[in-house]
Structure 1
Amino acid sequence: MTTLIIGANGQIGRRLCQQCAAAHVPVRAMIRHENQRAFFEELGIETVRGDLGGDMTAVFTGCDQVVFTAGSGASTGPEQTLMIDLNGAMRAIDLAREQGVERFIMVSTRHTDPLQGPERLRPYLAAKRAADAYLTHSGLAHVILRPGRLTDAPGSGRIALSREEASGEDVSRDNVARVIVTLLKRQQLDHREFVLLDGERVIDEAIR
């Protein structure tokens, strides 16, 4: 079973690909530019060119699962937020469904209500809310991850699945990637949503 990673060259995506390579989980990295290929080839990971704002029809061929961990980035304006975080995600969901992908894992945000998030992030949060709803009603088996404030701290391998369990609002990108690897191995988990924060529960035990 091969998993397509959309957003493979991002901060979570690179960590995820490294961990998948170490765990011998077969993945395909979607890249936009040729100069991104070397990083993944050194890991022994297949790459395919695709663009959330352009052509990506062929990238799904032969893939059974999709991880969407792409984002327009904090420095882009509302136009890119709409094209990548909303329309790009919706197109990926449509193409996955059309090409018989079995499961779609979405890396989203903990803020399910854009008005509860920081004002400067509200367009992004609104786009993520709409994309999540589109996935939920797509008919695809899916998992939506709702990580808290992302950090570059080393992954502890321990998480919390609610604010009540957690000691703070943060989660390391390493831990997010580890959770995704666990989900890729546990294909029976679908139609689920997880809040994801750093905590005290061992990942393998928490994701059951």
Structure 2
Amino acid sequence: MIYSIVAIGDPVLKTKAKNLAADLPAAELQQLIADMYETMYYAHGVGLAAPQIGKGVRLFVMDSGPMVEIDEEDQEEGEELEDPIKRAFINPVMVSETGEQWGFEEGCLSIPGVRELVNRHADIVLRYEDENRQVHEEAFSGMAARIIQHEYDHLEGVLFTDKLSGFKKQLLKGKLARISKGDVKHDYRMRFAGDGKRR
């Protein structure tokens, strides 16, 4: 099932998500994860957090494959290329964010048509449950770390635009207000807080 992506302006995107219940039936969880992947691919995304489909729970999915391909084009000779990661992360906890911060132009399915330079840490350690509810603590770096930090922020009620300078936020204010009302071009199903309609 393909969900509508919730646009900026909806309170669910600014609310800290709650842990996914331990007693959630496995079949229900697997279906939700499958639907999130389907929605993410339909919208040509590399990550999708549950709040972006209107569900305030700590779950996100990612597939860094398309971003790794972009990195490959810019790869310097002899540079090691990271392996793509496709995974679901349940009830994640950020253990550490380290390494030199680096900038990359990010976008977000909830904010179509907006891309801005965001600085993020190069290395992270994340504790999370996989789709079988097994607990892992794992280190990530590079593009995978960036995608995870972006999606993790969604679970904390933070959007990438919140990380911009006051000046940049001021410049984008009108555009973001228009997006929240549905005044934006998009090629996937969206839900806007301004009128409650799906388009």
Task: Pick the TM interval, shorter chain.
Answer: under 0.3
The structure richer in helix per residue is: 1
Q: Which structure ranks higher in relative contact order (CA pairs < 8 Å, sequence separation ≥ 6)?
A: 2
- With normalisation by structure 1, the TM-score equals 0.25
- With normalisation by structure 2, the TM-score equals 0.26
